[in-house]
Structures are given as C-alpha cells and as structure tokens.
Chain A
Amino acid sequence: MAAKKLNIKDKYRLLTRDLDWDFSYEDPKKAFPYEEFEGIKITDWNKWEDPFRLTMDSYWKYQAEKEKKLYAILDAFSQNNGHLNVVDPRYVNAVKIFLTGVSPLEYQAYQGFAHVGRQFSGVGARVACQMQSLDELRHVQTQIHAMSHYNKFFDGFQEFSHMHDRVWYLSVPRSFFTDARSAGPFEFMIAIGFSFEYVLTNLLFVPFMSGAAHNGDMATVTFGFSAQSDEARHMTLGLEVIKFLLEQHEDNVPIVQKWIDKWFWRGTRLLTIVAMMMDYMLPNKVMSWKEAWEVYFEEAGGALFKDLARYGITMPKYADVIEKEKEHISHQAWWTFYTHGHAAGFHTWIPSDQELDWLSEKYPDTFDKYYRPMWELAKEQEAKGERFYTSGLPQLCQTCQIPMLFTEMDNPNQNSMRDTVFDGERYHFCSDGCCDIFKDEPEKYVQAWLPVHQIFQGNCGGPDVGDILSDYYRMNVGVDNMDIKDSPDEQRWNKWKGVA
C-alpha cells in the first residue's frame, strides 16, 4: 500500500494534539485547576495555532547538534585560557552580573514554563511550554558551564546561587520572576512569554551577547549564538499566546492590557541594570542604551503595538515616561553602584576620560548637564586618595525593589518618590508605575522581601554591613567588592599580562 504523504501540520496534530482525550472518570477541572481564577475566558483551545511544530525526535536531534558544537568551543576556551582574550578585566564584571542576576532567572523560567506546561488544558499550548521549559533549563546549565571557567580565574562568581536569593540588588531580577511565577498561568505567559521573551529579550539577551562579542568573550558569545534559535522559538510562542488570548474572548482584552501595562513597567525597571552595563561596564561599547531602546523598543515595539491595535490593545501605560528615562537611567544606576561599590558583589570604577567623552556624545541633552560633573568630582576625590563610598543603606521601592535612585524625568535634580497607605502602613515607590502596580494587588506586594528592610529587622545577621556582606551574602569582603583599582582581579590580570 503506498503511504499517503502527510503535511507537517496534520502530522504534528496526530503526533501531539491527538494524544489528549476527554476525561470521563475524573473532573478535568481537578486535573487543570488553575485555568479560571484569573478571569481569562478560553472558549476553544482547538483554535490554538502551534507556533512551532517540533516532534521530540527532531528536538533531540537539533539540540544535540547544537550542544555538541557549544561544548567543543567551551572546552577549547578553557584549554586555551580564553579568559586572557577579553579586552580588559573590567568587562568580566558584566559577566558576573549575568551569572548572579540573569542565569538564575533562566532557572525560574524553566520552573514557570514547566508549571504552565502542566497546567494548561490545551495540549498544543502545553507542549510548546514544555519545550520552552526544557530550553530554559538548557540555558541556565549552559550558562553555568560557559562561565565556570571565569569562576576559576576571577572573583565574584563563586556564590552566584546563594547570592541570587539574598543580595540587595539581585532581589530586583529575582522578585521580577517570582512575581510572574506566583501569578496565574495566563499572567505568567503575558509577563514572561510575551512581554519579556517577545518584546524585551532584545534588550536583555542581545546587549549581553553583543557585549561579549565586542569584548573578546568567546564563551558567552558562543552560548548566545547557540541559544539564538531557541529564543526565536520562544518569541513565536509569546506572540501566539497574546493573539490567542485576545481572539478567544473580548472580555480578555482589558485583563491582558492590564498585564501588559504592569509587565512593561516591571520589565523596563529590570532593564536598568542592562542599561548601566551597556553604557558603563563594556570597555568596547556596542551601542548606547538610548540607541538600543530606540531601535528595539520604540521602533520594533511600536510596530508590534500598531499590529495589536486591531484587538483594542494600546501602548503600555507610562510609555511616555519610559521614553524620557532612556536619557537618564544608566547614569543614575551606575552612580548608585559606584557609591555603593563596597556592598556590590562586583567591581566598580570611574569611566575613563575617553568613555566620559563617548557618553557626552551619546547623551548630548543630559550627560554634560547632569552627570559628567558628578564623575569629575569623583575623579578629583579619587586623585586625592579619597574614593567615595556612601555609608547608608538605600531605601527600596516596594514594587521593583530598586533603590530610590531615579529622579523625576522632567527635573533630574529631584528624586522621584511616591507613597500610599495600605492596611494602616505606608509604602514607598520609585514611580507612578510601581505605585499603580502595588495599588492593584497590595496583598501581593506587601509580601516583598525587601533586602534593606530585612537587614534593619536583623534578619540578615550583622550588626555591621561588613558582617552581613560576608556572613549572610557570603561575599569575600575586600576581594569581590570595592573598586577595580588594586583589586585581586586586577592584580592577577596584570601578572598574567606581564604588566607591572
């Protein structure tokens, strides 16, 4: 009998979606209990369009080929002391931020997608999420392996997992993801699958990987190339999710819009650290944060929202504020880390004169006016042997958990502070965006484990900041932290390079 040819769509349907059946011995709501509480209405899961049609055998085959190539390069990298090829030891601090701040998010993405990949009752969506879950596990593990070599030669990598759960600035990315995972399954998909993977990935993943490419970091950039096709799959899933939800029922539109507003604001706050990394931590610059924002958000995101307008979706709330922020946030963030450099798990420094000039050129409207004078002052202080560290602990925003370092965007001399009272207590915020998010779900955000509050409540050891850093955070004080100047990292580098 001559077999008829099956097209990919039919074949995929038979090999995946046809595997489910209608329960008759148990109530399916008991098997998939979390699909209704968010108010999202799914009328027909069969309308789900599979964003990619990979069967497991092809998945194993493609992914194994990629893994083989990746690990061959990682082996060569460590065999040949590839860390010596980075442009400058300052660069390695960007990699430290990646391993302590971003890789653990990949782990949370694995967990979050496994959860929705079990909980959706629609098999098409479920399987797509399961594959993303497996990919995310790949990413955290390959990142650990790619950066394992740096850990052997530089300080600040060794406690990445312990630090991620505890350290003050790492609670920003951490709480972003625990916020998404603790939400219902559909909000998780809008938060991570759509807002993060589809729209903001180009502003997180790409800057780090391009930074690696421009600064001689073969291990990280090879990981980046290897993960690119996974990311492409994740983006198609994110787009399918939003279209599916919006097409299923008109009542979903306002719920989805609220989540978009929330997660774009949360996302842009999270990206502050990327902004700072791009403008200040890469010795060889890729592009300025402002340029990246314009290309990847304003142009690409603008086109996307034009496309979504037919469903009644509008640009995220506070997009106008975000547009102004691109001029400021990287400078405000690096200044905060520079002045709190004793409490960071990586090194900080004053930009070189050449870098200050680059910043002036890239930020003609703001840098010379507001930020360059601060660095000139820092330079004078340092020249006098009085490198400045602030002694206090910063107040944190109840929602994004970033220190209250941002200013009003129309008046950069004025700190931006908002507050509200809930259940007899006053809570503080960095912005209207964060304050609104709190007001919508105060019961959730009062639970925030704010690192500075916790320190003051005595939950992180102490009493001195030094004790907290070494005992609770497990930082090597005087080694992992402080200025890069005279750090063990710099001393070793000079020895390897034969510089006196």
Chain B
Amino acid sequence: MTIEIKTATLEPVRNTFAHIERRFGDKPATRYQEATYDVASEVNFHYRPLWQPEFELNDTGRTAIVMEDWYAFKDPRQFYYGTYVQMRAKQQEVAESNYSFFEKRDLARLIPEEIQKKVIRLLIPLRHVEQAANLNNVYGSSLGYGTAITQALLYNGMDRLGNAQYLSRIGLILDGNSSDSLAEAKRYWMDDAIWQGVRAYCEANICVEDWFESFVAQDVVLDALIYELVYLQFDQWLADNGGQDISMLTEFIQNWNKDTNRWVDSVVKVAAAESDANKQQLEQWISHWKGKAVEALAPLADEMLDAEALSNAVAAMDKRLNKAGLFK
C-alpha cells in the first residue's frame, strides 16, 4: 500500500528554457541539460582580445577540429558542477580513510626500503606530469568552444591538481613529512635520464597552441600509456613485491582514471565520427604524439618493469582508439 500526499499542482507555462526546448523538445529537462547547452555566448563580443586579436573571445577557429555543433560532446558522466563535486567528494572520502588507515597503522614500515626507493623514483615524479595535465586541460577549458566540452576540461584540470596532491602525499607519508622524498623525486624529474623524455614531452605539450591537439597529446595519448603502465602494471608489480599497500594510496587515481577514460573516449569518438577531416587530423596528431610518448616512456618502462610493459600499454591504447573509431 502507498500513501499519497495531496499537493497543489499548478500547470507550468513551459517546461524548460527555449534553447533547451529547441534541442530536446517541449518536455522537462535534466539539470545537466539546463546547466550545459547553449550557455556560452556565440555572437557579438564587442572587442577582440588584445592577447589574440586574430580571434573573437569565443572562437571555433582556435582548433583544427571542426564541428557542426560543439554541444555534440555530451559528457557520458553528465557532470555539471554539482554532480561533479559530489562524485569527487565521495571518492575523496574513501581516499581519506585509506590514507588515514595507512598512516595510523604506519604501513610504510612494512614496505621494503628498495621498494620505497622505487616508488620515490618512479611514481612520485608523476606529480609533475599531473601538473602539466592541469595546465593543458585548463587551457582547453579557457580557449575551447561550447560548455559541453569546456566544463569537462575544467573538471579534468582540477582533478589533475587533486591527483598531483595525492601523489605528493604519498611522498610525505614515506618521508614522515620531511618532504625529502618530494625534493628527491623532483631531482629525478629534473635530472634523471629516465624522466627527461617525459619532461620534454610535457613542456612541449604545454606550448602547443591548438587546444584540441593539447587535449589529444595529454589526455588521449600520454595519460592512456601512463595509466596502463603505472597504475595497472606497475601497481601489480608492487603488489607482487611487498608494496601492495601503496595501492591503497593510488586507488583514487585508478578509479578516477576508469571514470575519466569514458569521457575521453567519447570525446575522441564524437570528433572522429563528425567528418573524415577530423578523423585524419586526430590520427595525425595521435601518431605524432604517440611516437614521441613511446620514445619518452621507454627508459622509464624499462626501469619500472621491462620492454614488454610498454608494448602492452601501447596495445591497450590502440584498442581504445580503435573502439573510438580511429585507425581502421
């Protein structure tokens, strides 16, 4: 049996905003729709930016990718600000309890010293890669077109800052808050031969002008390889060699990656399906950056695992790209 509370119902004059109705018909809209579609300005900007007079403030011309409708990039997670922060808040709650558990039981003492050293040399420097990813995603958010993709790029940019902070905290746990491990990891990042390719890649990408290309070089190529290499394969290696508790501290990033890959793959898929020209452009960018990334990651992968590890990561990335409609 159900009980029913009687409320006064008033017939609304309209179900949603006119621009939402034009897209989805005259029916109640979701909060994602009202927060996203056609919110960004499209015409009459008054002044050209002093810093880029060749473009309007909001301009589709800042990338070689061409879309009939930039709102085709619907986020499969349907993140608008509210759903985004609430999802991350839940995940950080789990992360927080993992970090506290780890610290309270002092699990670091159970990790062999050479494994700890390996973590400092091979995992912690990734905080700088996350920092580069922060810059590249915020870049796309600020110069990209249409709220559907630009809001997701901002969420991703802020996520990367969060990831960098979680990685830094691993270092602080291992060094008892002396921050020596962070300084050491930064020295590796700056000077150790195994990191120089990755650092050069990051610096080069930060200087890329086309925001979509920058997204490709970061989120589509480099992240795909690092995710497979580090957060899956190296994580497994750590588990097999007495460092399994480190996984508690990278769980946030692992889950975040799974979740984010859905969005990244959908962006690639939508852009590629739009036109042959887009498809070719994406394939050209991906080939270029993949070549650089493989070269950059090779010494790191060797040190971390073995030569096969990187080819496994490349194969996994190729499979994702294939599923998104590229290189076939």
- Which residues of A does B touch, CB under 8 Å? 1-6, 10, 14-16, 18-27, 30-31, 33-34, 37, 55-57, 59-61, 63-65, 67-68, 70-71, 79-81, 84, 104, 107-108, 110-111, 114-115, 117-118, 127, 130-131, 133-134, 137-138, 140-142, 144-145, 148, 151-155, 157-162, 164-166, 171, 174-175, 178-179, 181-185, 444-445, 447-449, 474, 492, 496
Contact = CB atoms under 8 A, between A and B. Distances in A.
B57 A142 contact: no
A63 B18 CA distance: 30
Contacts of A104: 39, 41
Contacts of B58: 111
A123 B118 CA distance: 28
A118 B138 contact: yes
A36 to B, nearest CB: 11
B40 interface: yes
Contacts of B157: 130
B189 interface: yes
For the complex, would chain B's binding face be called helix, strand, loop or mixed by DSSP majority? Answer: helix
A145 B17 contact: no
Given A23-B203, A118-B138, A141 B81 contact: yes
Contact of A61 (B13, B16, B89, B173): B89
A14 B206 contact: no
Nearest to A84: B10
Given A151-B17, A182-B47, A3 B103 contact: yes
Contact of B57 (A19, A27, A33, A182): A182
B189 A21 contact: yes
Given A19-B130, A152-B12, 20 more contacts: A1-B109, A3-B103, A4-B177, A18-B182, A19-B161, A21-B199, A57-B96, A64-B88, A65-B89, A68-B86, A80-B7, A107-B147, A134-B81, A148-B34, A152-B15, A159-B19, A162-B19, A178-B45, A179-B46, A447-B46
A178 B135 contact: no
A64 B86 contact: yes
B46 A16 contact: no
Contacts of B155: 134
A20 B40 contact: no
B142 A117 contact: yes
Contact of A56 (B82, B162, B179): B162
Interface in B27-55: 31, 34-35, 38-51
A142 B51 contact: no
B contact residues, range: 35 or more
Interface of B: 7-8, 10, 12-19, 31, 34-35, 38-51, 57-58, 80-82, 85-86, 88-90, 92-93, 95-96, 103, 106, 108-109, 127-128, 130-131, 134-135, 138-139, 141-143, 147, 150-151, 154-155, 157-159, 161-162, 164-166, 168-169, 172-173, 176-179, 182, 186, 189-190, 199-200, 203-204, 206-207
A152 B13 contact: yes
Contacts of A447: 46-48
Given A117-B142, A162-B19, A447-B47, A18 B186 contact: yes
B80 A141 contact: yes
A383 B321 CA distance: 72
A107 B158 contact: no
B322 to A, nearest CB: 32
B142 A31 contact: no
B261 to A, nearest CB: 20
Nearest to A66: B85
